[in-house]
Structure 1
Amino acid sequence: MDFSRVELREDDEKFLAGVREFLDTHVTDDVRRRDRETGDNFDEGVHLAMGAAGWLTAELSSEADGGLNRLRRRLWDLEKRRSHVPWVTWGTTIIVSKSVRQHGSPELRQEVLPGLERGEIRLCLGYTEPEGGSDVAMCKTRAVRDGDQWVINGSKMFTTGAHNCQYVFLITNTDPEAPKHKSLTMFLVPLDSPGIEIQGIRTVDGDRTNIVYYSDVRVDDKYRLGDVNGGWAVLMAPLNEEHGVVGESADGLQDVSVMTHQGVMMATAVDRVTAIAAREGPDGRRLLDDTSVAYRLGRSIARVEAALSAPHMFGRVAIAQAMRDISPDLMDILGPASALPIDTEGAADNGGAEYIYRWAPLCGIYGGTLEVFRNMIAQHVLGLGRANYSLPAKPKAKVS
């Protein structure tokens, strides 16, 4: 790993200055406050401004098609993180847009893709079901063909951003008698279709997600992506991207892990606690003068650095687990005032450690639980075989 400082050319320095000016203009304290209050992880004003300025087109396009080159794409990503751009809905939109380009009919591509670049159309993920857990192939939401249309019934949990999106990338079961990976069909369903009901759910960290009900929802066949019962092939690439199972770029100009955003937030909280611990109190002493504080803080910093350096699925597990492990220590070091949330008078670190503590459980289930990813690493990287969750065999009765 190369930790040397990157020296930018003059034109790239100007590009960076322009990025910072744009983000500082549009991602204001008001935007960040509103995002904390709603938990949306999305701001339509910022998103439309990005579309009007061409940033969304630049992100969706390859360098050969007029998009950002590798260095400028990395600078753009880092500056968005620095500014705390509400980003989740755009992240799901990018993931789904690739499937629309690859598997959508010409009619569907024409309907959807131009609006993505303007920021007027956003896409969310309709995977998890209330009784399905992390196995998205255990899909019970039914799609039944009726002439040139499909009738969809079922429900989906954790459809984050649905209330701010125009379409959902929906996994359905179109053949209940077939094996689970051969019974799935993917659709891009317009969320303004009759029969769709979106209900908000607030998570413990303050974010909003949704449960979405589908009651006799009719969609034209043009909204189908890929073959009937061939949805698993359509779903694999978006799932791999969400899981972080992607190849490493030779130039290294990318996030090491798909959870790097969460890892950087954790590192920021640790830096803030470290600065407080190094500050002299009225008696001239510092928290760091207590050897137990110095030890626990040093251990936390080491865990964060190791987690941020871990690639792919390893980084996903390392970052989420580190957040769970160190956030209680950070709060304990700061004392009772660390339990006060952001923008609360008297909060020890303006709520940084408290937020990480509440966020940690969620980071361990995004896109699948930590246990799922540990099993994937065990099976696909270490070659340890599939996990066996069957009940232990009962001992045979003794014959007298």
Structure 2
Amino acid sequence: MDFSRVELSGDDQAFLDEARALLSTQVTEDVLRRDRETGDNFDEDVHLALGAAGYIAGEWHGEDDGGFSRLRNRLWQLEKRRYHVPWVTAGTTSMIAKSVKRFGSPEVQEEVLPGVFSGHIRLCLGYTEPDGGSDIATCKTRAVREADGSSWIINGSKMFTTGAHNCQYVFLITNTDPEAPKHKSLTMFLVPLDTPGIEIQGIRTVDGDRTNIVYYSDVRVDDRYRLGEVNGGWTVLREPLNAEHGAVDASADGLQDVSIMMHQGGFMVAACDKAAAIVGAADPSGRRPVDDGSVAYRLGRSVARMEVAISTPNIFGRVALAQTMRDVSPDLMDLLGEASALPIDTDGAIDGGAAEYVYRFAPLVGIYGGTLEVFRNMIGQYMLGLGKPNYSPAKPAS
């Protein structure tokens, strides 16, 4: 394995310098503070600036279509992360836009995609329902086709529609045939969020993020916003769902994250680095906390687990990162003492609130796109060939 430093060409170095210059002027302390306060994980001014400068279109299109090369795309993704660009809504938009390109009518593509590339149109995921949990195929939100076939009436509700209040369309999964098997009863729509009958209510999560519950009451949607065939929604849904789950093949050039959750895992890396610096610093008497064998052991164990997690690929890494964040963060807080319980932006937080944020963030990372239990079952069933889980009640002992 080659760990030598990558030497960039003059043109690629110039691209990197320009990207850093743009991000340094756009992602200010005010932007980051406002993002922490709102929990939106999105900043419209930053997003529009990136769109105007061509970066949204550049990262979405391949090099053959006038976009970034694989190397430049990787550089851009890493710099966005380094500057902490609020990212969630941009991520869902990019994911859904690929389905619009593949399954949307030419009319809808023309309506949506130019605005996606300029930053003026954003897209969110309408999957989970209040009673549905991680099994989105048990969808109860109903779409009923009107007699003339030109439009649909949608009723139902969706949980965890993150970014809906900052988006213009929702990628909505509906049930169009309640009598059919659940994977053959689904139809996907790209629903304009300004349609009458849609109500968005905000919910704050334990880590400070905002998500939404969205209610659909007699929402009339033109058939042109249907993506794919009627009752063929699982085909439309499969590709973005696989991407969200991390069940994608690694690229041959290695220019991608090891795991889908690497962005979230980066917060754990930062927390481990800050903890190591603090316990490795000497007090006025020359004593370092890490000189205590138990401190050294627990810190070493945390760092070793973190390194293994960020090196674990594919869907396995998704589980490893989420679980390790849950396990490591309380150990780091315990090593640092009670001042580590103070959150970000609080005077006296010993590590700037890094470990405390991971502690609150970890449970959310473990349910994105499905719970850890769901992903462990997927690994057992589809990756290890262990068969379908049996959820039937245990038989009483004889």
What secondary structure, in the 3-state scheme, does the structure 2 residue paired with 1:247 have?
coil
Does 1:371 pair with 2:373? yes
What secondary structure, in the 3-state scheme, does the structure 2 residue paired with 1:96 have?
helix
Alpha-carbon separation, structure 1, partners of 2:105 and 2:325: 42
2:274 is matched with 272
Alpha-carbon separation, structure 2, partners of 1:153 and 1:115: 28
In structure 2, give the amino acid aligned to 1:8: L
2:7 is matched with 7
2:109 is matched with 109
In structure 1, give the amino acid aligned to 2:348: G
In structure 1, give the amino acid aligned to 2:114: P
Does 1:89 pair with 2:99? no
Alpha-carbon separation, structure 2, partners of 1:270 and 1:394: 47
2:98 is matched with 98
What secondary structure, in the 3-state scheme, does the structure 1 residue paired with 2:136 have?
coil
Does 1:138 pair with 2:138? yes
Alpha-carbon separation, structure 2, partners of 1:82 and 1:332: 27
Alpha-carbon separation, structure 1, partners of 2:170 and 2:355: 34
Name stretches of at least 5 consecutive residues in structure 1 with no aligned partner.
Answer: none
What secondary structure, in the 3-state scheme, does the structure 1 residue paired with 2:120 have?
coil
1:47 is matched with 47
2:32 is matched with 32
- Cα offset for 1:3? 2.9
- Cα offset for 1:261? 0.1
Does 1:326 pair with 2:328? yes
Q: How does 1:218-297 map to 2 (within 5 A)?
A: 218-297=220-299
- Cα offset for 1:395? 6.1
1:208 is matched with 210
- Cα offset for 1:5? 2.0
Alpha-carbon separation, structure 2, partners of 1:275 and 1:226: 53
Alpha-carbon separation, structure 2, partners of 1:394 and 1:179: 31
Alpha-carbon separation, structure 1, partners of 2:100 and 2:74: 25
1:195 is matched with 197
What secondary structure, in the 3-state scheme, does the structure 2 residue paired with 1:137 have?
helix
What secondary structure, in the 3-state scheme, does the structure 1 residue paired with 2:7 have?
coil
The two structures have a TM-score, normalised by structure 2, of 0.98
- Cα offset for 1:221? 0.2
1:204-240 alpha-carbon deviations (Å, 9 max, x no partner)? 0000000000000000000000000000111000100
2:187 is matched with 185
Alpha-carbon separation, structure 1, partners of 2:86 and 2:188: 27
- Cα offset for 1:15? 1.2
Alpha-carbon separation, structure 2, partners of 1:220 and 1:242: 28
Alpha-carbon separation, structure 2, partners of 1:355 and 1:393: 43
Does 1:122 pair with 2:122? yes
- Cα offset for 1:64? 0.1
1:362 is matched with 364
Q: How does 1:278-317 map to 2 (within 5 A)?
A: 278-317=280-319
- Cα offset for 1:329? 0.5
Alpha-carbon separation, structure 2, partners of 1:205 and 1:112: 32
What secondary structure, in the 3-state scheme, does the structure 2 residue paired with 1:384 have?
coil
- Cα offset for 1:394? 4.5
Aligned residues: 396
In structure 2, give the amino acid aligned to 1:149: S
2:80 is matched with 80
2:385 is matched with 383
What secondary structure, in the 3-state scheme, does the structure 2 residue paired with 1:144 have?
strand
- Cα offset for 1:264? 1.2
In structure 2, give the amino acid aligned to 1:289: D
Q: How does 1:53-72 map to 2 (within 5 A)?
A: 53-72=53-72
In structure 2, give the amino acid aligned to 1:49: A
1:231-284 alpha-carbon deviations (Å, 9 max, x no partner)? 011100010010011111101010011100011111011101111111111222
What secondary structure, in the 3-state scheme, does the structure 2 residue paired with 1:276 have?
helix
CA RMSD of aligned residues (A): 0.9
